[in-house]
Amino acid sequence: MLKEMRIDLNPSSLHKRHHVFVKFAISFLLLGLAFRLFVSDSIRFSSSIVETPPLVETNSITESPPLSPSSSSSLPAQAPSSGDLLANESQAFPNVAAECDIFTGDWVPDPSAPAYTNASCHEIEGHQNCMRNGRPDSGYLYWRWNPRDCELPRFDPGKFLDSTRNKSWAFIGDSISRNHVQSLLCILSQVEQAVEVYHDEEYRSKRWHFPSHNFTLSVVWTPFLLKADIFEDMNGVSSSEIQLHLDKLDETWTEQYKNFDYAVIAGGKWFLKTAIYRENDTVTGCHYCPGKNLTELGFDYAYRRALKTVLNFMTNSGHKAFIFLRTTTPDHFENGEWFSGGTCNRTAPFKDGEVDMKDVDIVMRDIELEEYEKAAPVGAENGVILKLLDTTRLSLLRPDGHPGPYRQFQPFAKDKNAQAQNDCLHWCLPGPIDSWNDLLMEMINRGIHQ
């Protein structure tokens, strides 16, 4: 037994036991450290789930602030991105611009009567008074424009007048602008009759006042928006080429522009006429001037210069107006033009895909969209609201809405086969152009609440 004891007390044996003990202690420590790290990581992982939950509804009141009585009982635990906010706003307000393009849609049958007739409105120009002039069909009156992704409210003349109290509106452009303002006047006349307070010598520019609302409505005739020397009578007969100053705005509208709180401005078909172009009071070219030995610059060159100059003036004038740039209006002449026997005898709208836009209208609308995209941000920086009133495509689908031969009074009263000049550009009143005012009011509502 003593011998065994001696063996046990041998130094080498003690060293070996000590070595085993150290290894055991180190292993224990490493195991403890690993366990701690595992637990710590688990805690952090668990914390990350609580702090950044997935974007799902939660009923936990500990992860959300107290709810107001009007709040939803389920709120996202993480703030939504701007895209999520737009999506949520679109669900709550289906008519907001981010959700619905009011210019993409269809004409749908509408059994309700027009807002006015030629008997209830006395502002209809003779050439657009299709009812009085004897147009035999009335089906063109019973359609409404229906955007595909939302409802377009009807124009409310009472609300419009209330919202424009003590304000001034102007329609600036050619005879289509005059056609449009007459449509608006007729709808507003169901609430209050306007008083004409001004007209120019040729009755092309006019101004009306609504005394109960202190609201002023103007139409300013300026077919090029630029300074132009026009040698044409009221019947469209020219004695010389138009001299168009591409670098000068027409003072007919610029001198009174700061009086307008709202302005609907548009170019148009006048740019397709033969014209000599001037810049810095020097002839630089022309459009459609054979035999003049001048450079053919094309109507598109002049139209772009005009819109660029106009929008630059409006967005940098210091006057903070609400501006609508209305796009070009297509005509529906078939089998000729206005001067060569063209007609428009259709009695129902086209469906989408049944008609193609003419090349000139494509060019003009593309220019309008491009110049608008450049000018809108500049206007926003200067406190000017600039909106695009894109009536081109919806108007393209309405070949039935023009006076046609009924621009004259009873053209076939004496001879059913009489040759009558057709108007396939302007619109009957009442008619499809009334829907433009529905669009205007919707755009005003959106502009105010954006």
For every residue of 231-253, DSSP letters joined together read: -B-TTS-BSS-EEEEEEEE-HHH
Q: How many CA atoms lie within 13 A of 324 on its CB side?
A: 26
pTM, rounded to two decimals: 0.78
Residues labelled as active-site residues = 175, 423, 426
Mean pLDDT (the chain) is 83
pLDDT above 70 coverage of the chain, percent = 77
Instruction: Name which residue leads in pLDDT, 73 or 267.
Output: 267
DSSP-based three-state secondary structure for 47: helix
Query: 3-state class of 36 per DSSP?
Result: helix
Lowest mean pLDDT of 74-88, 94-108, 396-410, name the range.
74-88
Q: For residue 157, what pLDDT band results from cuts at 50, 70 and 90?
A: very high
Helix (H) or strand (E) holding 360: helix 359-381
Residue 122 CA to residue 304 CA, distance in Å, equals: 37
pLDDT in tens, 404-448: 999 999 999 999 999 999 999 999 999 999 999 999 999 998 875
Q: Phi-psi bin for 344: left (phi > 0), alpha (psi -120 to 50), beta?
A: beta
Mean per-residue pLDDT, 378-405: 98
Superfamily per CATH, domain 110-448: SGNH hydrolase (3.40.50.1110)
For residues 306 and 367, the answer to whether their CB atoms sit within 8 Å is: no
Distance between CA 420 and CA 422 in Å, rounded? 6
Burial label, 231 (beta-carbon count in 10 A; 0-12, 13-18, 19+): exposed
CB 194 within 8 A of CB 209: yes
How far apart CA 393 and CA 329 sit, in angstroms, is: 9
Q: Are strands 275-279 and 226-229 parallel, antiparallel or unpaired?
A: unpaired
Reference 355, options 399, 403, 391; nearest CA is 399
- Residue type (1 letter), 394: L
Q: How many residues does the chain have?
A: 450
Residues 251-261, mean pLDDT to the nearest whole number = 98
pLDDT of residue 268: 86
Asked if residue 430 has a cis previous peptide bond (ω within 30° of 0), the answer is: yes
CB-neighbour burial class of residue 133 (10 A; exposed 0-12, middle 13-18, buried 19+): buried
The pLDDT value recorded for residue 207 is 98
Beta pairing class for 275-279 and 242-249: parallel
Beta bridge partners of 206: 199, 219
Q: Based on the number of CB atoms within 10 Å of its own CB, is 251 exposed (0-12), middle (13-18) or buried (19 or more)?
A: exposed
- How many CB atoms sit inside 10 A of residue 22's CB? 10
From 53-57, 321-325, 385-389, 398-402, the region with the lowest mean pLDDT? 53-57
Q: Give percent above pLDDT 90 in the chain.
A: 74
pLDDT over threshold 70, residue 76? no
Q: What is the mean pLDDT of residues 166-195?
A: 98
| Contact in structure between 358 and 330 (CB atoms under 8 Å) | yes
Above 90 in pLDDT, residue 70? no
Q: What is the pLDDT of residue 448?
A: 58
pLDDT of res. 121: 96
pLDDT grade for 59, boundaries at 50, 70 and 90: very low
Residue type at 241 in one-letter notation: E
pLDDT category of residue 233 using cuts at 50, 70 and 90: confident
Once rounded to an integer, what is the mean pLDDT over residues 52-67? 30
